């Protein structure tokens, strides 16, 4: 390329190199996306041929209380997950951002839930939170004398519980990204503030947090996306229940397509999910200028 030598590749060579990626991209990403869009205007149970029904899947979605509740659940899950995982992740990063003996061990331990499958995590938390025989309810009863709710079996708590378990799983991940951001802040800022006699809170408020805004923005986007991929943990912990109390769009797509065999209806929901994801991304990038102040 930039070398002065004659070209070392023929014009068609690069296409051979990218061929597998192109195949993958079109066969498993773009192709299915286009096809899902087409499907969303059909009624189809896989057995009999698909029937074109126009917008009726979308009409059904937005006029059914059931789907509006599912939509509400999806947003509620995100609103619980995103701020919590960011605050806890930042807290962990601030605590772990120091050079002391054994810190690598703690960092590895804090990160370990991230590499564990949602299934294993869902199972262990279901047992910890189990009514009566779970360790949490036992300790609450014997030490504090209070009775705990049936976290996963009650409509009021099921969704929040699943979201909080996911926070537990992913906060180590947010921690690591924040840690990278913290270590990029030039130490001269802190040295200057020491001379001015700033205390720990002032340093956090006026140096660390403002200089972290690009990282925060990045984590915000990642976490929002992460919050929509909740099928696995919901499948393991609640199967969307009780009733539809913890059913989100991700779970509902699976349920409609592969339990009720409503391929078109499921595809319409997939497009609603895609719409939400794209809208949030666009909004994030537009708002970014307003609050990402310091890019050094």
User: Alpha-carbon distance 217 to 60, whole Å?
Assistant: 36
Find the shortest distance in angstroms from Cβ 109 to other proteins.
5
Packing angle between helix 155-184 and helix 118-128, nearest 10 degrees? 130
Residues 43-82 that bind other proteins (CB under 8 A): none
Stretch of 12-20, 154-162, 204-212, 283-291 lying at the interface with other proteins (CB under 8 A): 12-20
CB 89 within 8 A of CB 212: no
- Is 273 near other proteins (CB under 8 A)? yes
Number of residues that bind other proteins (CB under 8 A): 94
Find the shortest distance in angstroms from Cβ 107 to other proteins.
7
Among 68, 87, 128, 283, binds other proteins (CB under 8 A): 128
- Is 93 near other proteins (CB under 8 A)? no
Find the shortest distance in angstroms from Cβ 216 to other proteins.
12
Backbone angles phi, psi at 168, to 5 degrees: -55, -40
Q: CB-side exposure of 144: number of CA atoms within 13 Å?
A: 8
Cβ atoms within 10 Å of 236's Cβ, excluding its own = 19
Helix, coil or strand: residue 130: coil
What one-character DSSP code corresponds to residue 258? Answer: H
Find the shortest distance in angstroms from Cβ 263 to other proteins.
6
Stretch of 73-81, 126-134, 152-160, 203-211 lying at the interface with other proteins (CB under 8 A): 126-134
- Is 125 near other proteins (CB under 8 A)? yes
Residues 134-193 that bind other proteins (CB under 8 A): 135, 138, 142, 168, 172-173, 176-177, 180
| Cβ contacts of 183 within 8 Å, gap of 6 or more | 97
Find the shortest distance in angstroms from Cβ 138 to other proteins.
6
- Is 194 near other proteins (CB under 8 A)? no
Among 3, 187, 199, 295, binds other proteins (CB under 8 A): 3
Find the shortest distance in angstroms from Cβ 203 to other proteins.
16
Cβ nearer to other proteins, comparing 62 with 106: 106
- Is 8 near other proteins (CB under 8 A)? yes
Stretch of 52-60, 194-202, 230-238, 285-293 lying at the interface with other proteins (CB under 8 A): 230-238
Integer-rounded Cα Rg, in Å, for the chain is: 24
Residues 62-79: b if buried by 16+ CB within 10 A, e if exposed: eeeeebeebbebbebbbe
Phi-psi region of 239 (alpha: psi -120 to 50; beta: other; left: phi over 0): left
Find the shortest distance in angstroms from Cβ 13 to other proteins.
5
Burial of 92 (0-12, 13-18, 19+ CB in 10 A): buried
């Amino acid at each position: 390329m930039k070398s002065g030598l004659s070209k070392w590749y023929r014009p068609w060579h690069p296409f051979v190199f990218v061929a597998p990626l192109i195949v993958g991209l079109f066969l498993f990403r773009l192709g299915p996306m286009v096809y899902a869009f087409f499907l969303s205007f059909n009624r189809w149970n896989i057995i009999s041929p698909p029937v074109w029904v126009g917008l009726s899947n979308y009409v059904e979605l937005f006029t059914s209380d059931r789907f509006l509740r599912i939509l509400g659940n999806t947003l509620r899950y995100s609103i619980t997950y995103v701020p919590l995982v960011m605050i806890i992740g930042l807290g962990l990063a601030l605590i772990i951002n120091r050079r002391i003996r054994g810190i690598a061990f703690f960092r590895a331990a804090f990160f370990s839930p991230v590499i564990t499958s949602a299934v294993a995590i869902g199972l262990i938390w279901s047992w910890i939170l189990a009514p009566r025989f779970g360790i949490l309810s036992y300790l609450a009863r014997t030490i504090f004398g209070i009775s705990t709710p049936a976290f996963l079996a009650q409509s009021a708590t099921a969704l929040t519980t699943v979201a909080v378990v996911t926070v537990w799983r992913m906060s180590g991940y947010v921690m690591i990204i924040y840690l990278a951001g913290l270590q990029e802040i030039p130490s001269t800022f802190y040295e200057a503030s020491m001379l001015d006699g700033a205390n720990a809170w002032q340093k956090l408020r006026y140096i660390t947090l403002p200089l972290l805004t690009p990282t925060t923005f990045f984590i915000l986007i990642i976490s929002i996306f992460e919050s929509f991929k909740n099928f696995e943990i919901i499948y393991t912990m609640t199967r969307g229940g009780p009733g539809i109390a913890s059913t989100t769009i991700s779970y509902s797509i699976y349920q409609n397509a592969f339990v009720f065999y409503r391929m078109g209806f499921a595809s319409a929901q997939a497009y609603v999910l895609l719409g939400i994801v794209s809208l949030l991304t666009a909004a994030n990038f537009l708002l970014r200028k307003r609050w990402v102040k310091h890019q050094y």
